[in-house]
Chains A and B, each alone.
Chain A
Amino acid sequence: MRGCRRPILALSLAIRDLDAGYGAVKALRGVSLDVATGETVALLGTNGNGKSTLMKCIMGLVRPWRGSVSLTIDGATHDLARMSPEAIVDLGVALVPEGRRLFPRLTVSENLMLGAFRRAARRDIARNLALAFDAFPVLKERAGQLAGTMSGGQQQMLAIARAMMSSPRLLLIDEPSVGLSPLLVSQMITKIGELGERFDLTVLMAEQNFNQAVRIADRGYIIVHGEIVVAANVDELHGNDIVKRLYLGGSV
């Protein structure tokens, strides 16, 4: 159905009062968050504040305890909290997981093929593969190499390219900067911004690196100990007291 690339008029993600966690540990407390068509939204927070848990809740990998995750596509609303990850992929959502999570013993091209595992994506493999190689030429040079033997930056590129193989509309990226040198982080963030524009993607990116993330974001949420403490446009974020205290070394 999505193979013919019917342009999606509207896509929006709405998270309301979300609680989630693991066993006795509550990782998210009453989180509400919105992402609208074409936006790039940054989810900012340091380690262990619940960014990845939120990403996993959207992807159906973690079941929330309370609250809702709904994705509206052209007027039809889907309750992601009740869907399996594969059904969510079918809706046009893709996650680039934290730490890349490639298939290390498979080659670059096998990794990319697996990004197109869903039936709808299989028909577009040739086109999406060409797009991926166009966006990241180094992946083409290394198509036959085992993914686990590449450098961190190349692995991150592959992780993003693999997610793009399912022709997503909503791209979730969890900490693309982890383990990369400052120069590479900057290049990676720029690349994500370019991809977003080129493919009309709606992007939700979890990131620790405030200065890099806000370069391409329209809006940002700051999450501390599982709660959203700030939600603002990027311009407002720069002047925010909490941001100054948490990220910019200012004292309040």
Chain B
Amino acid sequence: MKRNAIAFWGFALLFLAAILLSAQFVANEYWFFAGYVILQFIVLSVAWSILGGYAGYVNFGTSAFFGVGVYTAVFLVSAIGAPLALQIAVAAIVGAVMGFAVGLLTLRMQGIFFSIATIAVTIVVETTVTNWRSLGGAAGIQIQRPPVTAPFHSYVQMLVFVQALLVVLSVAISRYIQNSWIGRGLQALRDDELAAECTGVPTLRLKMTACVISGALMCAAGAPGAMYLQYADPASAFNLNYSVSVLAMALIGGTAHWIGPVIGAILLGVTQQLLTVTISSEVNVLVLGVMLVLFVVGAPEGIIGLFRKGRRSEGKA
């Protein structure tokens, strides 16, 4: 356990150092644009998996949380010219509050009913923002990036590093939850909610905790998106594609372990970027659908499940 923790934090530091160094040596800005999107998807799918994976509550509201993160940043920039760190911190708080509210409204529902309720949340939030004049309404809103500071050469490079920090933070939280009594309780209620209550697992409180943490991380992941695009409009910030992609990434990676959503997000995120560059962004959705079907049929436990099965059969042989 101890050695695992050292390895984990060592790897996290290496990862951050590599991102920092790349800002010095990689000249082509495209890599940062693409890398940002992939890192953002890692945060989102790790966050999704805390409620959707550990607790088994399939959440279609990712785009609601993400979009609220984007718009929290937009609001702070246009209202008081808040710095990036403040935008992210406030977005995380807003996300936590929103997670609490959404959880209170929906977490008494189970299975498909919960999922449908989360779609409804997305639509409600999007409609609200669309009709919010001072945030640009349906037409969207432009924002200006402040000048960038050393050691970064461009603002996008800095955003990539910030998103990488969020990746480390979200993975560390997810890993902590998995190894703690919170994670055990969530696993128990995923398997059998009534049995979990019988053994004294405070199911509603744990689900609320998961929803709050998941919501805070999703909103935080969305916040730098405003500066990344220098523009926000409701149709793209609340695009249901985020919900579907993130869900697919987590499920394809496997939700039984924190590494699953990370693997899934890298795999699908890279594939999407390649397809966008080589064919078109529309093909993304098709490929996503095909991959999801293949995995649901062939490897319902995701990539993690395939590895575990492989290891188990090796052990027997």
Q: Which residues of A contact B (CB under 8 A)?
A: 59, 61, 84-86, 89-90, 94-95, 97, 101-106, 110, 113-115, 117-118, 121-122, 162-163, 165-166
Measured between alpha carbons, how far is A84 from B203 in the docked complex, in Å? Answer: 11
Measured between alpha carbons, how far is A114 from B201 in the docked complex, in Å? Answer: 8
> Contact between B194 and A117 (Cβ–Cβ < 8 Å)?
no
> Contact between A117 and B199 (Cβ–Cβ < 8 Å)?
yes
Binds A, one of B39-47, B73-81, B185-193: B185-193
Measured between alpha carbons, how far is A163 from B198 in the docked complex, in Å? Answer: 8
Across-interface contacts of A121 in B (CB, < 8 A): 200
9 smallest CB-CB distances across A and B, nearest first, come from A89-B200, A101-B195, A103-B191, A86-B200, A118-B200, A85-B197, A86-B202, A95-B198, A114-B188
Across-interface contacts of A101 in B (CB, < 8 A): 192, 194-195, 198
Nearest B residue to A84 by beta-carbon distance? B202
Report the minimal beta-carbon distance from A132 to chain B, rounded to whole angstroms: 13
Residues A102 and B181 in contact in the complex (CB < 8 Å), given A85-B200, A86-B201, A118-B200: no
Besides A86-B201, A103-B188, A165-B199, 9 new A-B residue pairs in contact (Cβ under 8 A), listed by A number: A95-B198, A97-B195, A102-B192, A104-B192, A114-B184, A114-B196, A114-B199, A117-B188, A117-B201
> Contact between A97 and B194 (Cβ–Cβ < 8 Å)?
yes
Can you report 12 A-B residue pairs in the complex whose CB atoms are below 8 A from each other? A59-B197, A61-B198, A85-B198, A95-B198, A101-B192, A101-B198, A102-B192, A103-B192, A110-B187, A117-B188, A165-B199, A166-B199
> Contact between A90 and B187 (Cβ–Cβ < 8 Å)?
no
Measured between alpha carbons, how far is A23 from B184 in the docked complex, in Å? Answer: 32
8 A Cβ contacts from B154-202 to A = 181, 184-185, 187-188, 191-192, 194-202
Measured between alpha carbons, how far is A172 from B81 in the docked complex, in Å? Answer: 61
Report the minimal beta-carbon distance from A194 to chain B, rounded to whole angstroms: 22
Report the minimal beta-carbon distance from A11 to chain B, rounded to whole angstroms: 18
Interface centre among B194, B196, B197 (most CB of A within 10 A): B197
Nearest B residue to A115 by beta-carbon distance? B199
Across-interface contacts of A106 in B (CB, < 8 A): 187-188, 191
**How many B residues, CB 8 Å from partner?**
16
Measured between alpha carbons, how far is A225 from B196 in the docked complex, in Å? Answer: 29
Report the minimal beta-carbon distance from A124 to chain B, rounded to whole angstroms: 14
Measured between alpha carbons, how far is A162 from B202 in the docked complex, in Å? Answer: 17
> Contact between A61 and B194 (Cβ–Cβ < 8 Å)?
yes
Across-interface contacts of B188 in A (CB, < 8 A): 103, 106, 114, 117
Measured between alpha carbons, how far is A97 from B198 in the docked complex, in Å? Answer: 8
Across-interface contacts of A89 in B (CB, < 8 A): 199-200
Across-interface contacts of B201 in A (CB, < 8 A): 86, 114, 117
Across-interface contacts of B184 in A (CB, < 8 A): 110, 113-114, 117
Nearest B residue to A59 by beta-carbon distance? B198
Measured between alpha carbons, how far is A90 from B192 in the docked complex, in Å? Answer: 20
Nearest A residue to B189 by beta-carbon distance? A103
Measured between alpha carbons, how far is A115 from B197 in the docked complex, in Å? Answer: 10
Report the minimal beta-carbon distance from B197 to chain A, rounded to whole angstroms: 5
Measured between alpha carbons, how far is A92 from B289 in the docked complex, in Å? Answer: 50
Across-interface contacts of A105 in B (CB, < 8 A): 191
Report the minimal beta-carbon distance from A63 to chain B, rounded to whole angstroms: 13
C-beta contact mask, B192-221 vs A, less than 8 Å → 1, else 0?
101111111110000000000000000000
Measured between alpha carbons, how far is A162 from B188 in the docked complex, in Å? Answer: 13
Report the minimal beta-carbon distance from A226 to chain B, rounded to whole angstroms: 21
Measured between alpha carbons, how far is A118 from B202 in the docked complex, in Å? Answer: 9
Across-interface contacts of A110 in B (CB, < 8 A): 184, 187
Nearest A residue to B185 by beta-carbon distance? A117
Measured between alpha carbons, how far is A117 from B188 in the docked complex, in Å? Answer: 10
> Contact between B195 and A102 (Cβ–Cβ < 8 Å)?
yes
Measured between alpha carbons, how far is A59 from B200 in the docked complex, in Å? Answer: 10
Measured between alpha carbons, how far is A114 from B182 in the docked complex, in Å? Answer: 11
Measured between alpha carbons, how far is A49 from B191 in the docked complex, in Å? Answer: 28
Across-interface contacts of A166 in B (CB, < 8 A): 199-200
Report the minimal beta-carbon distance from B19 to chain A, rounded to whole angstroms: 37
Across-interface contacts of B197 in A (CB, < 8 A): 59, 61, 85-86
Across-interface contacts of B187 in A (CB, < 8 A): 103, 106, 110
Across-interface contacts of B195 in A (CB, < 8 A): 97, 101-103
Across-interface contacts of A115 in B (CB, < 8 A): 199
Across-interface contacts of B200 in A (CB, < 8 A): 85-86, 89-90, 117-118, 121, 166
Report the minimal beta-carbon distance from A178 to chain B, rounded to whole angstroms: 15
Across-interface contacts of A102 in B (CB, < 8 A): 192, 195
Across-interface contacts of A95 in B (CB, < 8 A): 198
Q: Which of A104, A113, A122 contacts B191 (CB 8 A)?
A: A104
Measured between alpha carbons, how far is A182 from B197 in the docked complex, in Å? Answer: 30
Report the minimal beta-carbon distance from A83 to chain B, rounded to whole angstroms: 12
Report the minimal beta-carbon distance from B242 to chain A, rounded to whole angstroms: 29
